[in-house]
C-alpha cells in the first residue's frame, strides 16, 4: 500500500469518525430534548395533580362544612319541633281543662235555671210549650187545648206539641236548631197522625217547626218552610214569634 492509498484510507476513517460523532451529538441533543420535554410534562402533571388534590381537598372541606351545617340545622329543627310538640300538648291539656270547666259552668247554669237533666231539645220544647199554653193562638187561630209529648198507638212517632180546637189540629215539631231536613220529617207525620188519631182525621191539620236559634242557614230555612206551607216559629223573649206564616191546610 503506497502513501496515497494510506492517506485516503485515514482520511476516510477520520471522516467516518467525524460523521459518527456528529450523529452521536444529534442523537444526544435529541435525547436531551426529549428528556427536557419529559421533565416538563412530568412537572406539569405534578402541578395538575397538586391543583386537583387541592381542589378535591377544598370540595371535601366544603362538604364537611355543609354536613356540619345540615346536622346543626336538623338538630335545631328537631329541637324546634320538640318545643312545638310540647306547646301543642300543653295547649291540648289547657283546652281540655277549659272544655271541662265550660261543661261544669253549663251544668251550673242549667241547675240555676231549674232545668237539671234537661237537654237543649227539652229546654226548647219547654219554652215553646209554656208560651203556647199561655197564649194558644197560632196564625190568628185560637186553640182551646195544648198538649205535649204525645205518642202514636204503636209508640213509634212522637208529637212534641199538639194544639186542638173544634175543627183544627196544629202539629208542632220543636228543635233547638232546626234544619231543612226537619221539615221533610215533619211532613211525614201528617198521615201518621191521621191513622193513629181517627177522631181527628177530618180536622184541618196545620204544621209548624219551632226553633230557638237562628244560624247562617236561617233564610234558607224560612224559604223552605214557606215553600212547604208550614209555620216557622221562633222565640222572642217569653213569646212565640211567627217567622213564616204562609201556610196551607194538610
**Nearest alpha-carbon partner for 207 in 223, 185, 239:** 185
Q: Return the exposure string of 89-127: e unless at least 16 CB atoms fall within 10 Å of the residue's CB, then b.
A: eeeeeeeeeeeeeeeeeeeeebeeeeeeeeeeeeebbeb
CA distances from 89 to 74, 77, 80, 99, 102 (A): 22, 18, 14, 15, 20
211-226 mean pLDDT: 85
Which residues does 151 contact at the CB level (< 8 Å), separation at least 6? 157, 158, 159
Give per-residue pLDDT as tens, 60-118: 788 888 888 887 888 887 888 788 878 877 767 776 676 567 656 656 655 655 544 45
The set of cell numbers assigned to 199 is: 177522631
Whole-model pTM?
A: 0.53
Q: Select the more confidently predicted residue: 153 or 114.
A: 153
Tens of pLDDT, residues 30-57: 877 787 887 887 878 788 778 878 887 8
Amino acid at each position: 500500500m503506497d502513501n496515497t492509498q494510506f492517506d485516503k484510507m485515514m482520511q476516510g476513517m477520520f471522516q467516518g469518525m467525524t460523521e459518527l460523532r456528529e450523529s452521536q451529538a444529534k442523537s444526544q441533543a435529541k435525547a436531551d430534548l426529549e428528556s427536557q420535554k419529559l421533565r416538563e410534562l412530568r412537572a406539569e402533571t405534578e402541578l395538575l395533580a397538586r391543583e386537583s388534590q387541592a381542589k378535591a381537598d377544598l370540595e371535601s372541606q366544603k362538604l364537611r362544612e355543609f354536613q356540619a351545617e345540615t346536622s346543626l340545622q336538623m338538630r335545631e329543627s328537631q329541637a324546634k319541633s320538640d318545643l312545638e310538640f310540647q306547646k301543642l300538648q300543653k295547649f291540648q291539656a289547657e283546652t281540655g281543662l277549659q272544655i271541662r270547666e265550660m261543661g261544669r259552668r253549663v251544668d251550673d247554669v242549667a241547675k240555676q235555671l231549674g232545668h237539671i237533666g234537661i237537654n237543649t231539645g227539652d229546654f226548647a220544647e219547654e219554652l215553646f210549650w209554656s208560651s203556647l199554653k199561655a197564649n194558644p193562638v197560632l196564625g190568628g187561630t185560637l186553640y182551646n187545648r195544648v198538649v205535649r209529648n204525645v205518642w202514636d198507638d204503636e209508640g213509634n212517632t212522637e208529637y212534641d206539641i199538639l194544639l186542638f180546637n173544634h175543627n183544627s189540629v196544629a202539629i208542632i215539631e220543636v228543635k233547638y236548631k232546626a234544619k231543612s231536613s226537619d221539615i221533610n220529617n215533619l211532613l211525614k207525620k201528617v198521615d201518621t197522625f191521621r191513622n193513629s188519631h181517627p177522631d181527628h182525621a177530618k180536622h184541618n191539620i196545620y204544621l209548624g217547626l219551632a226553633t230557638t236559634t237562628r244560624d247562617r242557614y236561617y233564610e234558607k230555612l224560612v224559604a223552605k218552610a214557606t215553600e212547604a206551607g208550614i209555620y216557622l216559629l221562633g222565640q222572642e223573649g217569653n213569646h212565640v214569634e211567627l217567622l213564616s206564616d204562609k201556610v196551607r191546610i194538610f
